[in-house]
Amino acid sequence: MLFSWQGASGRWYEFDVARTKRAWEPVGGIYMFVKPGDYPTMEAGGPIALYISQTHSLAESLARHDVWAAAQALGAAEIHLLIMPDASQRVMIEKDIVKAQSPILNRLAQPPRAA
């Protein structure tokens, strides 16, 4: 299954949807912990991106991710993946999507701004 997410730039990115944990590929990519919507109608207002990050190795990052439990507590049941070997593109796309989606667990992980 695929799902498209829009970045702040207006560009759309197509992610693979994984509904269960599995043996992850040791490839670079962007991943999102997602609270699913009410498929296929999406009437429940979802899916909702709860956390977004990028990595040089999905296998290393997703094996035992420290944010997954918090995401599950908020309703995450899917991991959306975009394979992206190029590190600079990963960073650019991650920033674009985070800016548009403003996931709660990314916001909570940021240090407070000085007044």
pLDDT of residue 35: 93
Of 21, 89, 17, 29, the residue nearest 54 (C-alpha)? 29
Mean pLDDT score, 3-11: 96
Work out the angle at residue 99's Cα, subtended by the Cα atoms of residues 10 and 59, and round it to the nearest 5 degrees. Answer: 100
Residue 115's contacts (CB-CB under 8 Å, 6 or more residues apart) are: none
| This prediction's pTM | 0.86
pLDDT at 42 over 60: no
CATH architecture of residue range(s) 2-109: 3-Layer(aba) Sandwich (3.40)
Q: What is the CA 62 to chain-centroid distance, rounded?
A: 11
- Please give the residue that has the higher pLDDT: either 49 or 65: 49
pLDDT of residue 65: 86
